[in-house]
Amino acid sequence: MGRSVFVNGRVFDGTEVLPAGTTVVVENNRIAKVTSAPVETGSDDTVHDLAGKTLMPGLVQCHFHTGFGPDAGNPSPYLGQAMPPTYMGMIAAKNAQIAIDFGVTSIIGSSNGDLLDVSLKEAILLGLTVGPRVIPCTREMIAPGDSADGDVRSWYMGIEHTGLTRHVSGVEEMRLAVREEVGRGCQIVKLSISDGHGSQIIPDWNYMSEEEIVTAVDEAHNRQAMVRAHCPSRKGIIQCAKAGVDIIDHADMIDEEGIELVVASGASITPSYLWSVRYMGFAASWDYANGPFPIGNGFPETQAQTETRLAGVKEQFEYSVSMLPKMRAAGVNLVLGDDYGFAMMPHGDYASEMEAYVNYGTPALEVMQWGTRNGAKAMGRHGVDLGEIAEGKLADLLVVEGDPTEDVLVFRNPANIQLVLKDGVVQKDLLPATA
């Protein structure tokens, strides 16, 4: 089989843009050569002239709900618990196809029901659908009284079912839950530690005890699985970092102590600003003549209560934004990933999350590092085989029109993502035919 030779393009290797004139050669499923020297090609080889385009590692989405999406006209507050598993499987397959179309070659799951992630991973490996490499996540472990359990409008989430959430109370139940779900093929365990993020005011107390968190990490790591935690609270971030949680989601109220502990533990953080930005925008545009704001803190909530809550949410978001430069400077492993699948932020809208970080002061080049190198670090695969263009690494590669290290919005239009290789296999190809 011939090689693929990429010439004349901009090469972003996951960290920096390589000097002009760099040629990249792919042989079988690996990057065989990255060189500034001329490469001799044979009649078997395919040469791609990438003038005006960028070659880069495939994107890694580190907070991916495979089951979030439109279910039969219901907006997604149902979070995949209102429809049968068969239907949810089709949503997952569709989301996987969308991810590939937008240049995502790896995902880390972030809670789902009915073994959706595990099933999706198998289906992709068997060729039943196209999709990225999947690190399958468990259901979301929630303590009784979690907001996902407690309020009037989400009462059904607390009923024993096979959907998104699983009740866990005490270390023995946690041990059992992790053993069962990892045993079924999940490779990352999701915990719900504390309330809030973008829509609710974040209190400085947690749903889960330190002992439960430590038990989840011990059991998961013993089985070579990772742990991630929905954790907006300051106290929870500190406990998660100390316990060795691998991915801390949202981390809204992180303080200096938390940053230090997160850097020391090597945990990754998904700041996931898009949800917050979209939620606040949606709330600001809500006409109360149509009734109470529909994504409230329980129900009913008066307009005055909603407005007070949203003012608090906004203030906390501004605090989070103020901590972002500190996290970047300290070297926190920041990664991409957000709650795509809600009506206000459909799967595929990944460029808008990137744009949010740029709008809050992060250079586009750095956001691209989050999306490639840092994502591979979160998977435990950086320096091993993913997230960079370097000799010997797996050929998870994109050819993108334009320069995403200057303008992340090239990812808004899937027509700009012209070639997607995963493990050397073409997933999408819009490049003009080569002579």
Residues in binding contact with Zn ion, number by CB under 5 A: 2
- CB-based closest residue to Zn ion: 339
In angstroms, give the least distance from the CB of 198 to Zn ion: 10
In angstroms, give the least distance from the CB of 189 to Zn ion: 14
Q: Looking at beta carbons only, is 26 or 356 nearer to Zn ion?
A: 356
Please check whether residue 148 is in contact with residue 195, taking contact to mean a CB–CB distance below 8 angstroms: no
In angstroms, give the least distance from the CB of 76 to Zn ion: 11
* Integer CA distances (angstroms), 429 to 72, 170, 403, in order: 31, 50, 18
172-194 residues labelled b (16+ CB within 10 A) or e (exposed): ebbbebbeebbeeebbbbbbbbb
In angstroms, give the least distance from the CB of 378 to Zn ion: 15
Binding test (CB under 5 A) with Zn ion, winner from 219, 339, 353, 385: 339
Residues 93-112 contacting Zn ion, CB under 5 A = 110
Q: How many CA atoms lie within 13 A of 402 on its CB side?
A: 14
Q: Looking at beta carbons only, is 82 or 409 nearer to Zn ion?
A: 82
Binding mask 283-322 for Zn ion (x = CB under 5 A): ----------------------------------------
Q: Where are the beta strands (DSSP E) in 42-162?
A: 46-49, 53-57, 59-64, 104-109, 133-135, 137-142
Looking at 79-87, 120-128, 333-341, 424-432, which segment touches Zn ion (CB under 5 A)? Answer: 333-341
Measured between its terminal Cα atoms, the distance across the chain in Å is 18
Partnered with residue 12 across adjacent β-strands are 17
79 Rama sector, left if φ>0, alpha if ψ -120 to 50, beta otherwise: left
In angstroms, give the least distance from the CB of 275 to Zn ion: 8
CA–CA separation, 130 and 220 (whole Å): 29
Amino acid at 245: V
CA–CA separation, 143 and 165 (whole Å): 10
Q: Looking at beta carbons only, is 66 or 97 nearer to Zn ion?
A: 66
Q: Looking at beta carbons only, is 110 or 276 nearer to Zn ion?
A: 110
Name which of 243, 165, 148 is nearest 199 in CA terms.
148
Q: Looking at beta carbons only, is 274 or 376 nearer to Zn ion?
A: 274
CA–CA separation, 80 and 93 (whole Å): 14
Residues 160-189 contacting Zn ion, CB under 5 A = none
Q: Looking at beta carbons only, is 110 or 418 nearer to Zn ion?
A: 110
In angstroms, give the least distance from the CB of 65 to Zn ion: 6
Asked if 252 touches Zn ion (CB under 5 A), the answer is: no
Q: Looking at beta carbons only, is 23 or 76 nearer to Zn ion?
A: 76
Q: How many CA atoms lie within 13 A of 160 on its CB side?
A: 1
In angstroms, give the least distance from the CB of 414 to Zn ion: 23
Please check whether residue 388 is in contact with residue 45, taking contact to mean a CB–CB distance below 8 angstroms: no
Neighbouring residues of 215: CB distance < 8 A, sequence distance ≥ 6:
171, 174, 175, 178
In angstroms, give the least distance from the CB of 68 to Zn ion: 8
In angstroms, give the least distance from the CB of 110 to Zn ion: 5
Residues 72-91 contacting Zn ion, CB under 5 A = none
Q: Looking at beta carbons only, is 148 or 398 nearer to Zn ion?
A: 148
Q: Looking at beta carbons only, is 146 or 339 nearer to Zn ion?
A: 339
Write out the two tokens for 175: 């041990």
Partnered with residue 55 across adjacent β-strands are 11, 399
Looking at 32-40, 293-301, 338-346, 394-402, which segment touches Zn ion (CB under 5 A)? Answer: 338-346
At 25 the three-state DSSP class reads: strand
Looking at 5-13, 334-342, 365-373, 405-413, which segment touches Zn ion (CB under 5 A)? Answer: 334-342
Q: Looking at beta carbons only, is 148 or 386 nearer to Zn ion?
A: 148
The contact set with Zn ion (CB under 5 A) reads 110, 339
